[in-house]
Amino acid sequence: MIELKAIFLFAITAVVEIIGCYLPYLWLTQGKSPWLLIPAAFALAAFAWLLTLHPAAAGRVYAAYGGIYIGVAILWLWAVDGVRPTVWDITGCVVTILGACIIIFAPKS
């Protein structure tokens, strides 16, 4: 059960990180308001804080988070960017999520 909570927390963390990076992207590439940098900064601060909520060693947390992040990023690609993921996107996503789950669900010593 703790592992499922970790995956859920990683997913929320990924959304917050993507928002923190997406808002400056909108400003820099699409001429949106520079005021977007303010919520972006808060999102990135929240992202860093959310990563501290995991009890595992930081390197393990970052490694597991990376796999979940990729899955959320592919969902973002589809839902926000309006780009349908390719079979290669989905395959890579599945492989990385499996890798993250191996790290997350590994026996703890």
Q: What torsion, rounded to 10 degrees, do the Cα atoms 70, 74, 80, 85 define?
A: 160
**pLDDT reported for residue 1:** 66
Q: From the first residue on, what is the mean pLDDT of each consecutive set of 10 residues in the chain (109 residues)?
A: 82 95 96 97 95 80 88 95 96 94 84
**pLDDT reported for residue 4:** 82
Residue pair 51/21 in contact (Cβ under 8 Å)? The answer is no
**What residues does each domain of the chain span?**
2-105
**pLDDT reported for residue 56:** 73
pTM of the full structure: 0.86
